Structure 1
Amino acid sequence: MTEKCGHHKSKRKRLLKKILAGVLIFLFIVLVVFLLVWAILQPKKPRFILQDATIYGFNVSAPNLLSSTIQVTISSRNPNSNIGIFYDKLDVFATYHNQQITYYTGIPPTYQGHKEVNVWSPFISGVNVPVAPYNGVALSQDQADGAVMLLIMVYGRIRWKTGTLITGKYHLHVTCPAMITFGSQSTGIVVGNAVKYQLVQRCSVNV
């Protein structure tokens, strides 16, 4: 009786090992096929352009408090012919001398098909945002000199889609330079209570 039980247990173990080996081989084949398809398709990063920026307010108070309201228009193009892009999360904000000067503004998740273009026009703002003392001085000086260089940043997570295959999430970092001019040097167009700057500035993209 004991011999029979041991024989059945041994058969079960062999069967489980075969099933496990089969599953591992299947997963390996799927992975190899996916990598081959991925290598053949060679996905390209999305291309971002900062089209314009509209300044509704940009004021330095105290020596190191900044209040600003800016609307930016950003376009994104998927250059791939066979790969779609899921934008699962996108946050837009502005920086000055590597310091964040506005709050995050989220863009709703979206899917971008082959060769498609998406355009977003979010508002980014901050009220009495503290900046480092040396940045406060530099910002006031730049504004007095007539030109402030900001960086409009887009941080997010994306996934690639080819056929029915969808990848895991990748981090997306986009950096768009925006030269904002003031006073007699201003290149902006007055629109109501705001000033609009046509920038058409290509952004750097890291995935």
Structure 2
Amino acid sequence: MDHQRVYPVGPLPASAPVAPDNFSSNSKKDPKIDKLPLFTAPTSSPPPPAHINTRRKRSRLCKCLCWTLLTIIILIVIIAAIVGILYLVFRPKIPHYSVDYLTVNNFSMDNNLTVTASFDITVTSRNPNKRIGIYYLEGSKITAWYNTTELCNGTYPVFYQGHRNTTVVHLLLSGKPQLTNDLVSGIQSQLESGSIPITVKGNVPVKIKFGALKLFKITGKVNCHLLLDSSSSGSSTSDTQFKFRSSSCSFKVKL
């Protein structure tokens, strides 16, 4: 067999990389590509039109007003329900007050037209309620008037009046008002006619007790019109004798 010799071959020369078909060494870059930005930042959305903001504000305001009105209506309904329940359970009745007697302890006038007046008034207070009590509190004021002039004043006693209770109280009123000439002439004319009208007014703070529940403080206002007969044994007011004739009273509550 014939032996063949194999001779080593040196390294082949490196061939140039094969360029893609669409690539040409003579081609130029597209100028439009150079102008494109590498990164585009997101832009914020434009603000809503002014009329849309106005509508939103109006809508919020309407909702707020509606909720406020609804809350007020609910509170009124709750209060009305409570008052209705209390009325049905306790059946409240207005207390009655009457002036049974008025004694003039002193009614004299000096040369300076200053009147010294002292009245003793007997008042009957009736509470007709069977489940309601009345607390008469401090801070009351009882006044006696002739026309628009206050003659004397005093206070109402502090006590508790129970259910279906009748209480007789005595009020001592005193004062020294300064009168005018016209008022003195009017009083003298009334005394000569044989009668003189006196008005007794009362502002008395009270608390109402419904069972075991005490309500807030209210003010009872009493207005009584009295008529006194007068007989004089001299020319001075101190010589005049007074006798109680009649009275009519009204009562109301001030919250």
Q: Is contact 2:125–2:166 with CA below 8 Å preserved after alignment?
A: yes
Cα distance in 2 for partners of 1:114, 1:195 equals 39
Please give the alpha-carbon distance, in whole angstroms, between the structure 2 residues aligned to 1:202 and 1:78: 18
Matches within 5 A, 1:13-52: 34-40=82-88, 41-52=90-101
Aligned to 1:111: 160
**Aligned equivalents of 2:246, 2:133: Cα separation in 1:** 24
Of 179, 202, 208, 1:131 maps to 179
Aligned-pair CA distance for 1:194: 10
| TM-score calculated relative to the size of structure 1 | 0.71
Amino acid at match of 2:150: Q
Aligned partner of 2:143 in structure 1 is 93
Q: How far 1:118 moved relative to its partner?
A: 1.4
Rate the CA distance shift 1:34–1:111 in 2: closer, same or farther, 3 A: farther
Aligned residue for 1:61?
A: 110
Match of 1:73 in 2: 122
Question: What value does the CA root-mean-square deviation take over the aligned residues?
Answer: 2.9
Separation of aligned partners in 2, 1:194 and 1:86: 39
Alignment partner, residue 147 of structure 1:
195
Residues 48 and 37 from structure 1, CA distance in 2 versus in 1: closer, same or farther, beyond 3 angstroms?
same
2:212 is matched with which residue? 164
Q: Which one scores higher on RCO, CA 8 angstroms, separation ≥ 6?
A: 1
Distance 1:77 1:37 in 2: 25
Report what 2:224 is aligned to. Answer: 176
Q: 1:56 is matched by which residue type in structure 2?
A: N
What is the alpha-carbon distance in structure 2 between the residues aligned to residue 105 and residue 30 of structure 1? 41
- The one-letter code sitting in structure 1 at the alignment partner of 2:190 is D
- Distance in 2 between residues matched to 1:116 and 1:145, nearest whole Å: 40
Letter in 1 for 2:94: K
CA distance in 1, matches of 2:82, 2:230: 52
Q: Which moved more, 1:56-65 or 1:150-159?
A: 56-65
Higher share of residues assigned strand: 1
What SS does structure 2 have at the residue aligned with 1:135?
A: helix
2:247 corresponds in structure 1 to 201
TM-superposed CA distance for 1:32, in Å, is: 6.5
Q: Which of 1 and 2 has greater Rg?
A: 2
Say whether the 8 Å CA contact 1:150–1:178 is kept in structure 2. yes
The answer as to whether partners of 1:74 and 1:119 remain within 8 angstroms in 2 is: yes
- SS of the residue aligned with 1:101? strand
CA distance in 2, matches of 1:144, 1:196: 12
Aligned counterparts of 2:241 and 2:211: Cα–Cα separation in 1 = 45
Using the size of structure 2 for normalisation, the TM-score is 0.59
* Identical columns (%): 21
Measured at CA, do residues 199 and 147 of structure 1 come closer, stay the same or move farther in structure 2, by a change above 3 Å? closer
Corresponding residue pairs, total: 172
